[in-house]
Amino acid sequence: MGTREGVPRLLDLFAARGIRAAFFFTLGPDRSGVAIRRAFTRRGFVRKMVRSRGLALYGWRTALSGTLLPARPIGRRCEGAMRRVAAEGHETGVHGWDHVDWHDRLPRMSRAEVRQAVDRAHAEFARIFGVAAPCAAAPGWTVSDASLEIQDERRLLYVSDTRGGAPFYPAAAGRALHTLEVPTTLPTLDETLAWPTLRSDDAQRRFFRGAPRGSEVLTIHAEVEGGGKRALFAAILDDWIADGVTFPLLSERAREAAGAASPPPVRPVAAVRLPGRGGTVATGWPELTAEHATA
């Protein structure tokens, strides 16, 4: 399980390098194995899993959770690892309640169902950490007008629900929202592992070392970078450190953007496809996202 095993490994890796990061936690049932139905519903899912060796990346426990193995409660089972994250000075936020259900069913959820999922995740976060969550990131970069509006009611410092481009304020149902969006800008390792041009770890290192050097945001997954690919991830971080790359927190990026002389723009959110990822992801910058994400 990523939170139970991968998060402590990531904490050790970051501590050894003096890096602080933002951790977003799924807090409800681990139903990862149910994602197998995406083979029938999401174009590109099977190809991505085969090319990235998905079973080796995520492991049997994750692959069977919620199907042949019980869907265990992540928040209840892993609260010790989560509290360690905060104790070591990292940022913590909400990733969702039931990751698979949100990712696969959000467009068909009623507004009441969306509100219940958001409320349950934030209540469990508050139980574990003793404070309200200051930030959030949507499972699978999947949003709807209802999810954006309901999340906006919480007046979070920022969210990271989308891919590509600079920070912006989302528009939902034709109305500008108050919560700043700080997008993920770099491709994720579980995506680039599926790219046929990057077959080896050395090729992966060269790609990430040559990635853009602006205010970039990289999303990692505890099952991958804290699991079977942690040695590769450590090497990528060491390459960046050798090149003088620094690692500010997302909250620092959000405050910088919100306080800039020219405020972030308001932009509608659209859906795009990215290489190496099955299905679509949300973006406020569709004209930039696919180009920015391609090798």
SS3 readout for the chain: CHHHHHHHHHHHHHHHHCCCCEEEEECCECCHHHHHHHHHHCCCHHHHHHHCCHHHHHHHHHHHECCCECCCEHHHHHHHHHHHHHHCCCEEEEEECCHHHHHHHHHHCCHHHHHHHHHHHHHHHHHHHCCCCCEECCHHHCCCHHHHHHHHCCCCCEECCCECCCCEEEEECCEECCCCECCECCCCHHHHCCCCCCCCHHHHHHHHHCCCCCCCCCCCCCCHHHHHCHHHHHHHHHHHHHCCCCCCCHHHHHHHHHCCCCCCCEEECEEECCCCCCCCEEECCHHHHHHHHCC
As given in the structure block, the two tokens for residue 71 are 């869907």
In angstroms, the CA 292 to CA 50 distance is 24
- 282: which strand partners? 271
Model pLDDT for residues 91-103, shown as the tens digit of each residue? 999 999 999 999 9
Whole-model pTM: value is 0.87
Model pLDDT for residues 39-88, shown as the tens digit of each residue? 444 455 445 444 445 555 555 455 555 454 556 789 999 999 999 999 99
CATH number of 2-293: 3.20.20.370
How far CA 14 is from CA of 8, 82, 90, 111, 148, in Å, comes to: 10, 15, 10, 39, 31
As given in the structure block, the two tokens for residue 133 are 């969550």
Read off the pLDDT of each residue in 159-178 and give the average, rounded to a whole number.
97
Burial of 41 (0-12, 13-18, 19+ CB in 10 A): exposed
In angstroms, the CA 190 to CA 165 distance is 20
As given in the structure block, the two tokens for residue 36 are 């197998």
Whether the CB-CB separation of 135 and 156 falls below 8 Å is answered with: yes
**Residue in 154, 276, 288 with CA at minimum distance from that of residue 216:** 288
Regarding beta strands 91-96 and 22-26, do their DSSP bridges make them parallel or antiparallel, or are they unpaired? parallel
Model pLDDT for residues 216-235, shown as the tens digit of each residue? 999 999 999 999 999 999 99
Q: How many CB atoms lie within 10 A of CB 130?
A: 9
Tell me the average pLDDT of the chain.
89
Of 17-21, 28-32, 73-77, 240-244, which range is least confident? 28-32
